Amino acid sequence: MKKTLLATAIAGAALGATAAQAATVYNQDGTQLDIYGNIQMAYYSTKDGDGDSQDELTDNGSTIGFSGQHIINPGLTGYFKAEFEHDADEEKINGGINSGDQAYLGLKGNFGDFRLGSWDPIIDDWVQDPISNNESFDVSDTTTALTGGTPVNDDREGDKLQYMSPVLGGLQFVVGSQFKGDAQNEVGDVDDGGYTVDRDNNASFFGGLKYAVGAFSVAAVYDNLGTYEGEIDDAGTSGQTPGEEFDPGDAYGVNAQYTIGTLRMSAKAERLDADASNADVDFYALGARWGYGYGDLYGSYQYVDAEGDSDFVSAYGDTAGDDQSFNEVVAGVTYNISPAMYTFVEGVLRDRDEDQGDGVSFGAVYSF
């Protein structure tokens, strides 16, 4: 389960999946504190670049979370959330809670919501997740393409400030920025042919617009990825030129979805204009999730068109420098054992050389 625990639980409950409620440990004088979490275990069998199966029994994102809020006045509430991960499959040797997931604080009211900290990018929430927010495998997206060999690390979530408007006549918007200062000036890794980039006080801009009417909604999101601009420092063996300016490009996408009862259908178009690698990657996808009464049945199909010298393509076993296109298919089913526990089976086909990335998984989740 890759996403925010509480948000995913609520969404799953609306579509037929079970979800445990957070436990309120304190609620007095306008102040409330909740604790929630889950234990997730899964077995994976996936193909590597040589077409060989790689098997493992592993933790699948076990998390514990804390959230709280305090009513400052009738129109203003302060709040926070903090989530931490641990490896349930090897808890004895991994030292318990060993990594963070997200953490932020904010103010909300009739004016909207101001938030500061670390959480999922809005392009993830509004464009990508309605297609595939799965237990084990997801179709690729602009974030996957960005991290496929370029010095854009996995920290698309941190150091952000965001404002989200209230819903007015079905319309809602988001604007925000991710900031990396001089003290965080280097990003990237020279290992495995990568390279590093020095950056100054960089601030990105991202924004989104969503409109909902009845069971239909449409959303559009843009991110200029300005956080990762800079000058190439250590080129390693990548072939890049030290001193050259690095610009990761721009990411944007649109998503439309329609819900009928417990069936949700969605479509997306997403694009990365990857200036850094002189490449463009387009993603066109359809997805559906149906709550059948004892769990969810879901699947997604995506066509990926990558043009130019794409590190994203070469990272999946194809040859960089050539235009590539491929298909991705993900399907899965969950079964509810109880309101707090469910199992799942999931599979993916990625249409890469030597079946790289193809795989199956099955596992169990206990939520509290």
Residue in the block written with tokens 């709280």: 68
Q: What is the mean pLDDT of residues 54-81?
A: 94
**Which domains are present in the chain?**
5-367 (2.40.160.10)
CA torsion, points 11, 118, 133, 20, in degrees to nearest 10?
-40
Query: What pLDDT was estimated at residue 275?
Result: 66
How far is residue 241's CA from residue 202's CA, in Å, rounded to a whole number? Answer: 21
Query: What pLDDT was estimated at residue 327?
Result: 94
Of 147-161, 217-231, 343-357, the one with minimum mean pLDDT is 147-161
Are the beta carbons of 253 and 221 closer than 8 angstroms?
yes
* CA proximity to 332, closest of 296, 363, 306, 367: 296
* CA proximity to 316, closest of 46, 47, 45, 49: 49
How far is residue 348's CA from residue 302's CA, in Å, rounded to a whole number? Answer: 11
Prediction pTM value: 0.85
Query: What pLDDT was estimated at residue 4?
Result: 41
What's the pLDDT tens digit per position in 282-340? 999 999 999 999 999 999 999 998 876 556 665 555 554 567 788 999 999 999 999 99
User: Is the model's pLDDT at 122 over the cut of 50?
Assistant: yes
User: Is the model's pLDDT at 48 over the cut of 80?
Assistant: yes
User: Is the model's pLDDT at 149 over the cut of 80?
Assistant: no
- Tell whether the torsion through CA atoms of 353, 152, 61 and 332 is positive or negative: negative
pLDDT mean across residues, the chain: 83
Higher pLDDT, 69 or 180: 69
Residue in the block written with tokens 């001089």: 182
How far is residue 284's CA from residue 289's CA, in Å, rounded to a whole number? Answer: 17
Query: Percent of the chain at pLDDT above 90?
Result: 53
Query: What pLDDT was estimated at residue 322?
Result: 63
Could you give phi then psi for residue 252, rounded to 5 degrees?
-155, 160
How far is residue 362's CA from residue 43's CA, in Å, rounded to a whole number? Answer: 5
User: Is the model's pLDDT at 157 over the cut of 70?
Assistant: yes
User: Is the model's pLDDT at 362 over the cut of 50?
Assistant: yes
How far is residue 300's CA from residue 141's CA, in Å, rounded to a whole number? Answer: 13
Higher pLDDT, 127 or 306: 127
Q: Which residues contact 366 (CB under 8 A, 6 or more apart)?
A: 38, 39, 40, 340, 341
* CA proximity to 198, closest of 155, 246, 241: 246
For 339, other C-beta atoms within 10 Å of its C-beta total 12
User: Is the model's pLDDT at 108 over the cut of 50?
Assistant: yes
User: Is the model's pLDDT at 236 over the cut of 80?
Assistant: no
CA angle 143, 146, 147 (to 5 degrees): 90
Query: What pLDDT was estimated at residue 5?
Result: 42
Task: Name the strand (E) or helix (H) holding 143.
Answer: helix 142-146
Query: What pLDDT was estimated at residue 100?
Result: 76
